[in-house]
Amino acid sequence: MSLVSSTEMLRRARAEGYCVGAFNVHTLEMLQAVVEAAQEAKSPLILQTTVGTVKHLGPEYVAAIARVAASSVQVPIALHLDHCHDYELIERCIQAGYTSVMIDASMHPFSQNVELTKRVVELAHRTGVNVEAELGKVGGVEDELVVEEEDAVLADPQECEAFAALTGVDTLAPAIGTAHGMYKGEPKIAFSRLEQIAGRVGVPLVLHGGSGIPEEQVKRAVSLGMAKMNVATELRIAFSNAIKEVFGENPEENDPRTYMKRAKQAVKSIAHAKMAMCGCIGKAAGQ
């Protein structure tokens, strides 16, 4: 299959009450792992790259690899740029072949967030590319973006409704108490706030900070309208720990094909578990 926009994929997920896993990948092996997991699970998939990864690898390289991956399987795959503040980089990623982009202007006042998001929507919709935006402030660390716990701000339901109407955005990531990175304790998700937002906003909602959220909380969030869940940190940790294990067993190992094989399998296992948690296994049929 070719890479697809995530718009219809996520609309269907919200309408049918499941969630699509969106996995941040940083290497060829990580990308292969989640694609293989999706194919085995017959699950739709969103591949994601952070701005840091795009700058490290180049959007053209990432998009080319993603196209090859999509053409090798029979499940729908979208390619998403996560948490970007730079219009020019968004434009470059779209030109390279990304089918979904996130303009994150949540650090700006509401009116400026609307203005910047509308500009990206106008650009992306010319070619059917999905646009995601954020309201409120999700805590934690995402590349160079650091939001301390005390600075995290929950999204306002009325603002979410107005924002979706004013911008025409395809998907919305409201801050509801989750955080980027691993949690020190159990996440304190504001489910009542999420329910209010979902009641006012018809577009699919996005759960950021999906690493380490207990399964029952994920399922509750999905039942309230979350149609996309981002997973990043758990994949990086599993990938890195698997490589460390190989070198711990054999410090003289110098063949990347050996340690990357185990790292790839570790990521694949996490991806399978997250797909099951999201309820998207078997949902690729008909897409």
Please list the active-site residues: 82
Q: How far apart are CA 155 and CA 145, in angstroms?
A: 18
CA 37 to chain centre: 16
Q: How far apart are CA 137 and CA 234, in angstroms?
A: 21
Structure token digits, residue 210: 């999906």
Residue with tokens 């996440």: 187
Q: How far apart are CA 137 and CA 240, in angstroms?
A: 28
Residue 80's nearest CA partner among 4, 175, 8 is: 4
Residue 280's nearest CA partner among 272, 51, 47, 117 is: 272
